[in-house]
Amino acid sequence: GAGVSQSPSNKVTEKGKDVELRCDPISGHTALYWYRQSLGQGLEFLIYFQGNSAPDKSGLPSDRFSAERTGGSVSTLTIQRTQQEDSAVYLCASSLRTGEQYFGPGTRLTVT
Amino acid sequence: GNSVTQMEGPVTLSEEAFLTINCTYTATGYPSLFWYVQYPGEGLQLLLKATKADDKGSNKGFEATYRKETTSFHLEKGSVQVSDSAVYFCALIGGGSNYKLTFGKGTLLTVNP
């Protein structure tokens, strides 16, 4: 079956612009996670969804970051007014409830 | 809070050499421990896991044993191959969360023929 997919695979944007990153989890997976992988900070947890609810947003680095999930499936991570420090690879993962997390290939974001 | 410390790389080995990548952790309670691997150009894949003390996780010739007394989960392989070249991440879930992965910084392994 299909794995976790993310789009776009690469995104280059100018400082100050807004960007949207999309994640399609594995069908039937109720839990969805966003992580960020950057050179300076390594892999960091951003947000966790169970269904359409986000009980844990503790990893979102600032109020410029937001995420939503609709229909218990697709999720969108939005970064407003991007800054250079937002440059990173954004990873999405999904799981059955809180089981093994399956990761997507990531979106590489470059803010110029 | 939770934290994971793993040996810094890069690690360069010849084919058929023995591999150890050290990993220690800090967490309250009884975390579950994981090794993830990221091959060049690919996403993170779960390599192996252990959920309680003295459990041994194993996969593809790799092994790691959950040692609570030393808070460690070292990754080992007896004979590495060129195809094992990748970045390896030690991680845990625990300390009050049953879903949030806390990762080490990763160790780049290069295996030369």
The partner residue sitting opposite A91, judged by closest CB among B44, B49, B106, is: B44
A93 alpha-carbon distance from chain centroid: 8
Q: What is the mean pLDDT of chain B?
A: 94
Respond yes or no on whether the N-terminal peptide bond of residue B10 is cis (omega within 30° of 0). yes
Q: Residue B91 gets which letter from DSSP?
A: E
Phi/psi at A6 (5° precision): -135, 145
Model confidence at A53: pLDDT above 70 = yes
* pLDDT tens profile A9-37: 999 999 999 999 999 999 999 999 999 99
Q: What pLDDT sits at residue B43?
A: 87
Question: What amino acid occupies position A11?
Answer: K
Q: Is B102's CB within 8 Å of A106's CB?
A: no
More confident residue, B70 or B41: B70
B53 touches chain A (CB under 8 A): no
Q: How many residues are given for chain B? A: 113
Contact B35, B47 (CB under 8 A): yes
Burial class (CB in 10 A: 0-12, 13-18, 19+), B38: buried
What average pLDDT does range A83-98 have in this prediction? 93
Categorize the per-residue pLDDT at A49 as very low, low, confident or very high, splitting at 50, 70 and 90.
Answer: very high
CA distance A32 to B59: 25
Q: What pLDDT sits at residue B98?
A: 82
Contact A18, A80 (CB under 8 A): yes
Model confidence at B73: pLDDT above 70 = yes
Q: Is B46's CB within 8 Å of A101's CB?
A: yes
- Of A21, A77, A18, the C-alpha closest to A46 is A77
Q: What pLDDT sits at residue A1?
A: 54
Tokens representing residue B60 in the block: 């593809």
3-state secondary structure of B3: strand
Q: What pLDDT sits at residue A83?
A: 97
Model confidence at B34: pLDDT above 90 = yes
What average pLDDT does range A49-58 have in this prediction? 93
CA distance B66 to A58: 28
Beta bridge partners of A12: A110
CA dihedral for A110, A48, A31, A68, sign (positive or negative): negative
A42 touches chain B (CB under 8 A): yes
More confident residue, B113 or B28: B113
What average pLDDT does range B33-38 have in this prediction? 96
Q: Is A98's CB within 8 Å of B43's CB?
A: no
In chain A, what residues touch B92 (CB-CB under 8 Å)?
A: none
CA distance A64 to A84: 13
* pLDDT tens profile B45-72: 999 999 999 999 999 999 999 999 999 9
